Amino acid sequence: MEFVIEHLAKSYGKHQVLTDVDFAFEEGKIYGLLGRNGSGKTTLFNCLNSDTETNGGKFFFREDGRTEEVGPDDIGYVLSTPTVPEFMTGREFLKFFMDIHAGQIEDPKSTDEYMDFMMIPADTRDRLMKDYSHGTKNKMQMLINIISRPRLMLLDEPLTSLDVVVAEEMKDILRSQKEGRILIFSTHLLDIALDLCDEIVLLNHGRLEPVDKANLDNDDFKAKIIEALRDAEDA
């Protein structure tokens, strides 16, 4: 399976954010979407999630030569700022989600089994989520996407504000979710992309450019990437 973007464009008035995004993402990999703040990473995700209307282009799944439109259940979106119903406890939210998706969840588990997998502390599970740390809210947001198992997961800088322990836990969880899925992980931090991702693509001047990770051990090549990111910010 591939997720294919063809000639996607998006502008706001005279400001062209995405010029000609053209790329094919392969199943079973985590892709690092690398770009400076303001380069259009979130705009791209919002277009793919149909939260923002595009000015041109298309995207679809492709498998065995056949193409398939993207449905609302095919995409999971993890926001950089977690959005959870803070008036509910973590357990209530998880049970509510599982109840409304009953029959659609593969191999359903108990709420505690899911929370154990996500390493959500036992003493927080029955507390209101308004009192959760940023990291625990983030885990709850990601857990919903893991349970629903969309074919494509869009992760918008989910590790940026986390402490080092939670960030490492989240990396391990993401690595465990690659099979049968495509994960696109946006970040402006090169080191995170190198550590977590199988492939790296650079969003530069509104286009996606593949980056050979093997070359990133070369200081000159890494300097060129950083310079490209700097140019994208200045443009």
Domain locations along the chain: 2-234
Other Cβ atoms within 10 Å of 38 Cβ, number: 13
pLDDT of residue 182: 97
This prediction has a pTM of 0.88
d(CA 118, CA 108): 15
Q: Looking at the predicted structure, is the pLDDT value of residue 1 above 60?
A: yes
pLDDT of residue 229: 62
pLDDT grade, residue 234 (50/70/90)? Answer: very low
CATH number of 2-234: 3.40.50.300
Residue 72, burial from CB neighbour count under 10 angstroms (0-12, 13-18, 19+): exposed
pLDDT of residue 170: 86
Q: Looking at the predicted structure, is the pLDDT value of residue 223 above 50?
A: yes
Q: What is the CA radius of gyration of the chain?
A: 18
140 vs 91, 94, 137, 178, 221, CA distance in Å? 10, 8, 5, 19, 38
pLDDT of residue 235: 43
pLDDT (tens digit per residue) in 188-204:
788 888 889 999 999 98
